[in-house]
Structure 1
């Protein structure tokens, strides 16, 4: 009797940050990618002259590689595949049998020939990761553009800079948005630098099976690059079965991108509090019980991803550090769901980040009013430099006591008779480089020591 269908565990009910953005990370997409990878191995054999061209044509046709949309999992009993994966510890083992059953006998031997399960699964995850990173990169880049537009539009509008939650000195709304933009732009640089190598190394990373099959060390040496070309991946310079830098570098870049999004979202969540109200999200945000509320829903979703992502990145590093022997006993297996979940968070958080910044509403009047809540004390750093030489540190400290308006106190000081009190207390006159930074003007001489020609 057939087994009962397996339950569908995750539709996104408990991960709303990724809903609608993560179709290319589904089990179905991963499965179709694994099939495509198996077909790419046949194509690589044809390219190096080891397999007949007819084998590739027939196998590609069986699995829909020659059709729009690529590989198809039609004819595969997915529930049976998932159940059978338990016995061998990975889904490639039962998949190979299922694929061979659909291929004509004369070409069947070329399915999975010489490869090991890790070759197929690592390569499939690189294909999936490349697609997801491209999607993430587009969204992060768009978010950076929106942040830059906010920065320019509000470059001169005064706001309170906060340190350790308290008012510190005046800044501008635009300077804060420019900080978001710089973090997002740097994340794009990291994502652009990633490589996605194919994996084809055989059972123990020696490619011995491929030398045997092709009859040539040169042909076997050329096979991984041909395999990579068939999948539009980077050609590996050596096996990476237990040198897991491709996975950890992807993880690190994703975490950095989600960090940058999380920083922005945390600021938005804080600034949209009812008692602050300097910004508000332009879409969504209803409450099931309190109709008056306009929750910062996208910021909340992004923050949920930012809180989870670093731990997933750390798991990838732990797995890499424990990648023992020539194939790890569990460390490799722990990477699969971890990397996918990190990719899932990245595509979702970046999409929400772009949307949030595109629709963010700024209330410059509220921000300006907030600056005045401390009665002029937000420019205390400036006042200290002017007044301490005149009245001493002890009297200056006493001057700042309380929360009333400082202007009458300053005017009552005989030593301040010659000072323009209004100008001295004007936060717009103590912005430093904030407006310039908001407009994207970096520091003179900025850059790495190497780019400036500084000797180590």
Structure 2
């Protein structure tokens, strides 16, 4: 569809293209033939004939797709056409095509193969994004900035602290994606009802041979109607997309001209507005936000498909599988866009400092309250604090100036606040260093975890 180009990635679209999916199905059929020949269930020559014709380019893929709705499964026209083609070259071998397998075995395993490739794309860009965020955090030490709650200025944090707030959920997602992929990306081969009855004592040997051939784990039992592992993987992808959306939204907000603390890199005309050339649109954040908007609905649709009847469902599996490529495309589009934008963002520490200073010391309100409470008591502290805040908002001066004035005029006891207390209270650099200390060990640990993930490819 036309506007899907904004929500997916060409790489994932290629992984799930009709030709790629049909080829994955052919790969499963070829592995099945080789496994059965190895187990002595078909002649080696028959397996060789079948395998030699398991090439999607030999077939009219659009015709196979057109035949799928009437057949009830894409596997049926694929298998029928494969069988017919094998019969042209070796009639005796045609009888061995797809033997003991169910259509769902072929489709599920093919989708596992495609999903594995898509997850590798996501994993690569997710680790790249995590690496960029780590670099960003390491480069900016003790940079004070406003922490904002309920879209309003709150207290002083550090830029490093904020970056780590973006990074950690994404790092956990990178780790959990590996774990859920290991659990979900498994061979599907159970025959008509999951028992492999027709293979008898050879069932385990055929399973093991297919497992080695396709590099997929053998499940504890056929999962025709056990969709839980796949749904856990889908849920983890959804959680990752939520974290990506959080990052994209923060980047867009920080890039507003009125804020201008961090913005996407300006290169190759990215973000240029034709009619308003003074604008720099956050297009990477926009793409990521657009992509992740579709994810909750996709996952909800997939979860609703976890009710197949008896040993084979009626429609649920087809509906579930139809969401997979969209989900993975949305996820990759978001992570790829943000990985590119976070490679070299424009960071403006001076703007961060200016926004803290512009609050006229009000960000130190809680610290002042804690300082005065043991000396003035709760009621008097609350009244004094509200009066000072009111005067600052009326433009009479900064909070520090109002405190000094209150001391000079005797509104505060002379010993209520020492000069050193005032210096510490309004020192934004001290606040930033304290925020950095909160994540110092976490930063080092995150680097180790990222390196460990990079050293072991997914799948």
Tell me if TM exceeds 0.5: yes
2:403 matched to 1:410?
A: yes
CA distance in 2, matches of 1:243, 1:288: 52
1:351 aligns with 2:336: yes
Match of 2:207 in 1: 224
Tell me the number of residue pairs that the alignment of Structure 1 and Structure 2 aligns.
419
Give 1:314 deviation, angstroms: 2.2
CA offsets, 1:395-448, max 9 Å, x none? 21121124342121011122356334343212222347421244443799xxxx
**Aligned twin of 2:9:** 19
1:170 aligns with one of 106, 131, 156:
156
**1:292 equivalenced with 2:285 (yes/no):** no
- Provide, for residues 25-73 of structure 1, a one-character-per-residue CA deviation record: whole Å limited to 9, x for no partner: 222211111111111111121232212222232222223xxxxxxxx31
Kindly tell me: are residues 433 and 102 of structure 1, through their superposed partners in 2, closer, same or farther at Cα, counting changes over 3 Å? farther
The 10-residue stretch of structure 1 (54-63 or 352-361) with the greater mean CA deviation from structure 2: 54-63
SS at 1:14 equivalent: helix
The partner residue of 1:158 within 141, 144, 150 is 144
Structure 2 match to 1:6: none
Match of 2:245 among 262, 265, 269: 262
Q: In the alignment, which of 312, 315, 322 is matched to residue 337 of structure 1?
A: 322
2:99 pairs with 86, 89, 113, which one? 113
Displacement of 1:362 in angstroms is: 0.7
* Aligned CA distance change for structure 1 residues 341 and 417 (closer, same or farther; 3 Å): closer
> After superposition, where does 1:25-424 map in structure 2 within 5 Å?
25-63=16-54, 72-103=55-86, 104-193=90-179, 194-195=181-182, 196-211=185-200, 217=201, 219-282=202-265, 283=267, 284-320=270-306, 322-388=307-373, 389-390=375-376, 391-401=380-390, 402-403=392-393, 404=395, 405-414=398-407, 415=413, 416=416, 418-420=418-420, 421-424=422-425
- Distance, in Å, in 1 between the alignment partners of 2:275 and 2:309 is 53
* Contact 1:379/1:430, CA 8 A, preserved across alignment: no
Contact 2:173–2:240 (CA under 8 A) maintained in structure 1: yes
Counterpart-to-counterpart distance in 2, 1:438 and 1:270: 23
- Mark the CA change 1:27 to 1:433 in structure 2 (over 3 Å): closer, same or farther: farther
SS at match of 1:184: helix
- TM-score w.r.t. the length of structure 2 is 0.87
Task: Give the aligned partner of residue 428 of structure 1.
Answer: 429
Q: 1:301 to 1:437 in 2, by over 3 A?
A: farther
Counterparts in 2 of 1:417 and 1:86: CA distance versus 1, 3 Å = closer
TM-score (norm 1): 0.87
Offset of residue 373 of structure 1? 2.3
Q: Secondary structure at the match of 1:294?
A: coil
Deviation at residue 385 of structure 1 after TM alignment: 0.7
> Matches of 2:359 and 2:30 in 1, distance apart?
68
SS in 2 for 1:275: coil
Runs of 4+ in 1 over 6 A off after TM superposition: none
- Secondary structure (helix, strand or coil) at the match of 1:359 reads coil
Q: CA deviation at 1:319?
A: 0.9
Q: Secondary structure at the match of 2:309?
A: coil
Deviation digits for residues 101-145 of structure 1, max 9, x if unmatched?
211212112211111111000000100111111111111111111
2: CA distance, partners of 1:176 / 1:21? 31
CA drift at 1:162: 0.8
Unaligned runs of 5+ in 1: 1-9, 64-71, 212-216, 445-456
Name stretches of at least 5 consecutive residues in structure 2 with no aligned partner: 408-412, 446-459
Q: Cα deviations across residues 141-173 of structure 1 (Å, max 9, x unaligned)?
A: 111111011111113101111111111111111
Cα distance in 2 for residues equivalent to 1:348 and 1:437: 32
CA contact (8 A) 1:33 1:127 kept: yes
* Structure-2 separation of matches of 1:160 and 1:122: 50
Q: SS of the counterpart of 1:412?
A: helix
Is the Cα–Cα contact under 8 Å of residues 262 and 306 in structure 1 kept in the other structure?
Answer: yes
Whether the 8 Å contact between 1:144 and 1:180 is mirrored in structure 2 is: no
- Cα distance in structure 2, aligned partners of 1:437 and 1:18: 37
Contact 1:39 1:111 (8 Å CA) reproduced = no
What SS class does the counterpart of residue 277 from structure 1 fall into?
A: coil
| Mapped partners of 2:133, 2:441: distance in 1 | 11
Q: Is the 8 A contact 1:140 1:257 kept in 2?
A: no
Aligned partners of 2:228 and 2:438: how far apart in 1? 36
Which protein is richer in helix relative to its size?
2
RMSD of aligned alpha carbons: 2.0
Change (3 A) 1:160 1:53: same
1:319–1:288 Cα change, 3 Å = farther
